[in-house]
Amino acid sequence: MQVIRTEIADIKVIKPVIHRHGQKVSSNNMELTPHFVQDNHSLSTNKRIVRGFHFQIPPFSQAKLVRLIAGSIFDVAVDIRWGSPTFGRHVAVELSAAEWNQIWIPEGFAHGFWTLESNTEVLYKVNNYYPAEHDRGLFWNDRSLAIAWPGKASDAILSDKDRVQPMLVELLPYFLYFPPVLRVANSSS
């Protein structure tokens, strides 16, 4: 398995090694040790469906491991951690069932995607349960995010929920960023 760092260090793209019959299987330290509690499965029957941006707020915030079992998506994670040096920046990758690639999205990031094929199925593992009252969102096409979506906004197919999400400047500070040095100091107290 290959773990690839992205422009935002906390987000990782994961490329598993595909083992065919007769090949030797070996393990690799992935630097990720999540405890998953739930699998979510999303089916998008059309191309150009946009889902997101979604996230859960504390104490039910979620990290996600996203992969596809059919089709392909343009997948995006936006840093919404107040005080982060990458606040408001994003990582975008194309994920596909054919490539078997995945993306790790930690807590403190909003997640969304644009389907590139009909009948796309996204499977994502999460490390916390879903209570509806902790569900929040971010407007998918907020110009301040400067996301180069793979199609025109007028072609996007959106749910009613995703049409009315707040802009980044309207989000409450649900997640606060602590630099790694402060994380170590805070954990020893």
Nearest C-alpha neighbor of 92 from the set 162, 150, 49, 34: 150
Tell me whether residue 177 is one of the annotated catalytic residues. Answer: no
Write down the catalytic residue from 19, 35, 41, 54. Answer: 54
- 181: burial class by Cβ within 10 Å (0-12, 13-18, 19+)? exposed
Question: Sign of the CA dihedral 51, 53, 59, 64?
Answer: positive
Write down the catalytic residue from 35, 41, 111, 124. Answer: 124
Euclidean distance between the first and the last CA atom of the chain, given in angstroms as a whole number: 36
Tell me whether residue 54 is one of the annotated catalytic residues. Answer: yes
Active site residues: 54, 124
